[in-house]
């Protein structure tokens, strides 16, 4: 049985023995996510959407297989190491146009999937036409998604565009070596691409046993953060944990009364097949409870976007 470490024990660990990063594995990341989404969909109130996203993740897996991308040159790697900045920074990286080819492949995959809901089919066909006729608007929305801003985002098409961007950046990250990444990087963001984490997972097994990793919403890189620490502001004194009464034991919301935000934390010991993106998407009830309690979500799920709220 896994032993939970107390705060003093965590701080006293030799952190040089804890893997600081878990880089994505091409053959696993989207295949595992698709399988998890299908598992979570069984008997779930949002089964239809979870299954739709499972089909999308399967398309991502196919698109990533054999994908060759122009990555970061040695000059970029050396500059990022010197300044402690993510080498594949999402909001600054000059995207290769081939990311739109990935989007085209994903949309075609979705249209060929059996049982595609009519509404989803209409959205996908409209996005296909937009990709051909209005590249500028596609790129504008991609910029907005990567910056996690609500303006310029169409909630219906956002998950499909984001899925293509995920494939693109995951392909870049999977080709990196840990030694290419800065030892120190900005707090609270992915050391590889600079994006926010979607949630965190306490892992089991090997050198990472009992350690918490933040999970990037874009490139699927994971990075270590000491437990009982706010993943948004790094406060350690006003952190608390919340769960849905009679809900799954392996899901909690980690809140911080210093910044009044929260992110979910998943415990692999309780859910061996946990995937941060999939399990976060399937636990929206916890989000509603945290909102009612007055906490703001620190960052969103890449596969679920909401329209900008109008001012009253």
Q: How far apart are CA 13 and CA 129, in angstroms?
A: 55
Q: Is residue 109 part of a domain?
A: yes
Spell out, as residue ranges, where the chain has pLDDT lower than 50: 1-8, 10-15, 309-312
285 to each of 46, 145, 244, 259, 307, how far by Cα in Å? 11, 24, 8, 22, 19
For residues 82 and 210, membership in a common domain is answered with: no
Look up the CATH number of the domain holding residue 282.
3.90.1670.10
Q: How many domains does the chain have?
A: 2
For residues 173 and 189, membership in a common domain is answered with: no
Structure tokens at 234: 């790094």
Q: Is residue 239 part of a domain?
A: yes
Predicted pLDDT at 307: 63
For residues 115 and 234, membership in a common domain is answered with: no
For residues 56 and 89, membership in a common domain is answered with: yes
Domain that holds residue 168: 24-179
For residues 193 and 286, membership in a common domain is answered with: yes
Predicted pLDDT at 290: 97
Pairing assessment for the beta strands 261-267 and 296-297 based on DSSP bridges: parallel
Predicted pLDDT at 3: 41
For residues 92 and 148, membership in a common domain is answered with: yes
Q: Is residue 19 part of a domain?
A: no
Predicted pLDDT at 218: 98
Predicted pLDDT at 239: 97
Q: Is residue 4 part of a domain?
A: no
Q: Which of 194, 152, 174, 185 is nearest to 307 (CA)?
A: 152
Which residue among 179, 212, 245 closes a domain?
179
Q: Is residue 17 part of a domain?
A: no
For residues 280 and 173, membership in a common domain is answered with: no
For residues 191 and 55, membership in a common domain is answered with: no
For residues 59 and 204, membership in a common domain is answered with: no
Which residue among 164, 179, 194 closes a domain?
179
Q: Is residue 12 part of a domain?
A: no
For residues 155 and 45, membership in a common domain is answered with: yes
Which residue among 116, 149, 179 closes a domain?
179
Q: Which of 41, 150, 139 is nearest to 97 (CA)?
A: 139
For residues 150 and 191, membership in a common domain is answered with: no
For residues 86 and 193, membership in a common domain is answered with: no
């Amino acid at each position: 049985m896994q032993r939970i470490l107390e705060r003093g024990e965590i701080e006293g660990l030799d952190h040089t023995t804890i893997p600081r990063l878990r880089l994505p594995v091409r053959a696993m990341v989207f295949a595992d996510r698709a399988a998890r989404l299908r598992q979570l969909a069984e008997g779930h109130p949002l089964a239809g959407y979870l299954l739709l996203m499972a089909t999308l993740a399967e398309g991502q897996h196919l698109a990533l297989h054999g994908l060759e991308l122009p990555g970061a040159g040695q000059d970029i790697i050396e500059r990022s190491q010197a300044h402690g900045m993510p080498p594949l920074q999402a909001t600054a990286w000059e995207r290769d146009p081939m990311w739109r080819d990935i989007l085209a492949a994903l949309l075609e995959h979705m249209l060929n999937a059996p049982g595609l809901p009519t509404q989803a089919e209409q959205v996908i066909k409209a996005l296909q036409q937009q990709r051909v006729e209005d590249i500028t608007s596609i790129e504008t929305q991609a910029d907005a998604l990567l910056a996690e801003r609500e303006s310029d985002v169409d909630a219906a098409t956002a998950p499909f565009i984001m899925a293509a961007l995920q494939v693109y950046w995951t392909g870049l990250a999977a080709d990196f070596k840990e030694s290419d990444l800065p030892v120190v990087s900005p707090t609270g963001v992915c050391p590889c691409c600079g994006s926010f984490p979607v949630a965190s997972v306490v892992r089991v097994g090997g050198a990472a046993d009992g350690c918490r990793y933040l999970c990037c919403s874009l490139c699927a890189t994971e990075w270590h953060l000491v437990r009982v620490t706010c993943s948004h502001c790094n406060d350690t004194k006003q952190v608390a944990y919340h769960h849905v009464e009679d809900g799954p034991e392996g899901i909690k919301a980690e809140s911080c009364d210093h910044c009044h935000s929260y992110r979910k934390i998943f415990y692999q010991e309780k859910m061996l097949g946990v995937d941060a993106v999939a399990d976060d998407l399937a636990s929206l009830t916890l989000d509603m409870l945290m909102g009612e309690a007055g906490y703001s979500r620190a960052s969103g799920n890449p596969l679920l976007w909401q329209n900008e709220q109008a001012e009253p």
